[in-house]
């Protein structure tokens, strides 16, 4: 049986070991990515639910994240004016 040299085999084995390590690390990183995305989805759901709580108390508002002040979103006022104008016509 013919064989490659030990030196050549060592290089092939080194390459194969590195490929295996990198493939494993990619799997670990993909799993970590999956966990992060799942956490982000959960947080986004919590944000949506809390927006509903705030909207029930204050109506539609824009919040200044630096000091907590807010302004009413004018869209509602514009929509009400449009409805009133449509009723006049």
pLDDT, one tens digit for every residue, the chain (89 residues) = 999 999 999 999 999 999 999 999 999 999 999 999 999 999 999 999 999 999 999 999 999 999 999 999 986 556 666 766 776 66
CA 81, 74, 77: angle at the middle one, nearest 5? 20
pTM of the model: 0.64
- Contact residues for 59 (Cβ-Cβ < 8 A; gap 6+): 72, 73, 76
CB atoms within 10 A of CB 60: 14
The angle at the Cα of 8, spanning 10 to 24, to the nearest 5 degrees, equals 45
5/44 Cα distance (integer angstroms): 58
Strand partners, 63: 70
What's the pLDDT score for residue 88?
A: 65
pLDDT at position 75, please?
67
């Amino acid at each position: 049986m013919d064989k490659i040299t030990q030196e050549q085999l060592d290089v092939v084995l080194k390459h194969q070991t590195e490929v295996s390590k990198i493939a494993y690390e990619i799997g670990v990183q993909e799993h970590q990515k999956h966990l992060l995305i799942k956490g982000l989805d959960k947080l986004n759901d919590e944000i949506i639910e809390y927006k509903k709580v705030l909207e029930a108390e204050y109506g539609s508002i824009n919040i200044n994240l630096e000091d907590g002040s807010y302004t009413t979103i004018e869209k509602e006022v514009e929509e009400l004016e449009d409805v009133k104008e449509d009723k006049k016509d």
